[in-house]
Structure 1
Amino acid sequence: MHVLDRIERKVLLSVSRKQVWEALVDAEQFGDWFGIALKDKTFVAGETIEAPITYPGYEHVIWKARIERILPQTLFSFRWHPYAVDKDVDYDQETPTLVEFTIEDRAPGILLRVVESGFNSLPMGRRQKAFKMNSRGWDEQMGNIESYLNRARQA
């Protein structure tokens, strides 16, 4: 079965560019909406960060990502191993996918786009499942950040 190499999702947010940016690059805020325990952590380009996932059913998983680029209020990207949920598998032997968040002004708000690419580099035995699960996951995560920012706006 043919699997696409890239997932793209976008959401139009009714908050400021600064608020969207902080929800992406402030590690603790990112963890709050993404479901990762990132309290007292910092995203630094070129560094790898690890933290436990807090999403129900995945508490046994350690989220691990190498922060690639942080271009102020424009781009935040990292590499990770998609759907790396089996604690008995060494995913470090695989080529990670690239996740890129971009933000741009789009009336009447801010357009947030996420693109995850590189699925074709995954082992055949995992490629389809990782693509399917992350495709669903990005749908949920875009809803999560929208809800998170809407709650913050109303507070």
Structure 2
Amino acid sequence: MHVLDRIERKILLNASRKKVWDALTNAEQFGKWFGVALEGKTFVEGQIIEAPITYPGYEHVVWKASIEKILPQTLFAFRWHPFAVDKNVDYDKETPTLVEFTIEDHAPGILLRVVESGFNAVPEARRQKAFKMNSRGWDEQMGNIENYLKK
């Protein structure tokens, strides 16, 4: 079965650009809505960040991301291994996907877009499952950030 190489989601958020940006790039805030224990951590371009996932059923998984780019109030990008949940697999041998969050003004709020690309480089044995799980995951995460920003 052919799997597309990218997942794209967007949502219109009723919040200020700064508030959306902070929810994305302040590691502690990101962790609260994304489901990762990032208390006391900071996103730094060019660095790898690791923290336990707090999402029920996945607490055994360590979220690991390489922060690629932080363009203030515009783009936040990281690389990771999609659906890397089996502790017996060394995902570091695989090519990670690229996750890019972009924000733009879109009256009356902010349009948040997330694109995860590079699934064609994921080993074929797990590509379809990773794509499917992350497609579902991004749907959920768009709702999570929306709910977080309502607080």
The two structures have a TM-score, normalised by structure 1, of 0.97
Deviations 1:28-70 (A, max 9, x none): 0000000000000000000000000000000000000000000
Pairs aligned (count): 151
- Cross-structure match for 2:50: 50
- Cross-structure match for 1:34: 34
Q: Structure 1 unaligned segments of length 5 or more: list them.
A: none
Say yes or no: does 1:105 pair with 2:115.
Answer: no
Does the residue aligned with 2:66 lie in a helix, a strand or coil? strand
> Shift in Å at residue 15 of structure 1?
0.6
Say yes or no: does 1:145 pair with 2:151.
Answer: no
Identity rate of aligned residues, in percent?
A: 81
Q: Which residues of 2 match residues 5-154 of structure 1 at below 5 A? A: 5-151=5-151
Does the residue aligned with 1:86 lie in a helix, a strand or coil? coil
Aligned counterparts of 2:120 and 2:42: Cα–Cα separation in 1: 30
Aligned counterparts of 1:96 and 1:8: Cα–Cα separation in 2: 17
Does the residue aligned with 1:89 lie in a helix, a strand or coil? coil
> Shift in Å at residue 107 of structure 1?
1.1
Which amino acid counterpart does residue 69 of structure 2 have in structure 1?
R
User: Which 4+ residue blocks in structure 1 deviate beyond 4 angstroms?
Assistant: none
Aligned counterparts of 2:20 and 2:108: Cα–Cα separation in 1: 14
> Shift in Å at residue 99 of structure 1?
0.0
Which amino acid counterpart does residue 39 of structure 1 have in structure 2?
E
> Shift in Å at residue 97 of structure 1?
0.0
The two structures have a TM-score, normalised by structure 2, of 1.00
> Shift in Å at residue 108 of structure 1?
1.1
Deviations 1:66-93 (A, max 9, x none): 0000000000000000000000100000
Backbone CA RMSD of aligned residues:
0.3
